[in-house]
Amino acid sequence: KKINKLVQQCKTIKKNKAKILIFGNGGSAAIANHFAVDMTKNAKIRTQSFSDSSLITCLANDYGHSNWVKKAVEFYSSKNDLIIFISSSGNSANIVNAAKFALSKKIKFTTFTGFEKNNKLSKNSKLNFWVNSKSYNMIENIHQIILLSVVDAIIGKSEYKGL
């Protein structure tokens, strides 16, 4: 049900000629990059991942590490965009601060978390994909499966039933 909701959000983004911005740290950034490429290339939905070291270090240097994602959202997002935040712990300060900013600006966002169900990021999200695990690799792999299943569903090649 939640995956279908995210699929519909992405289709609305495409219809409105808006874009998806996706953020993560470490392994979650790699997942974000993979998703952004597949959404842009295969689903034809403009999707941008933020893992350019010059951008990250510039914004972190000027605004602090805990605010670089918030500043990227401020600089790159538009009101009709969709933002996806990935944080295995759900407590990454840079991701949580950006989600709070997006909420204050009424920018729609979806979150992917793990560890504790009631983490800081999930508390700010209307649509959260929580993985009941404390293992980074398990959480990240499930996040990737869900996100890439969304791509497959949009392009009509989903073989996953009941996720």
pLDDT digits (tens, 9 = 90+) for 133-161: 999 999 999 999 999 999 999 998 765 55
Q: How far apart are the C-alpha atoms of 124 and 104, rounded to whole Å?
A: 10
Cβ neighbours of 141 (radius 10 Å): 15
Instruction: Kindly report the pTM of this predicted structure.
Output: 0.94
Q: Residue 65: CB partners within 8 Å, gap ≥ 6?
A: 93, 94
pLDDT digits (tens, 9 = 90+) for 22-40: 999 999 999 999 999 999 9
pLDDT digits (tens, 9 = 90+) for 26-84: 999 999 999 999 999 999 999 999 999 999 999 999 999 999 999 999 999 998 999 99
Q: Answer whether residue 8 shows pLDDT above 80.
A: yes
One-character DSSP codes across 88-154 = SSS--HHHHHHHHHHHHTT-EEEEEE-SSTT-HHHHT-SSEEE---S-HHHHHHHHHHHHHHHHHHH
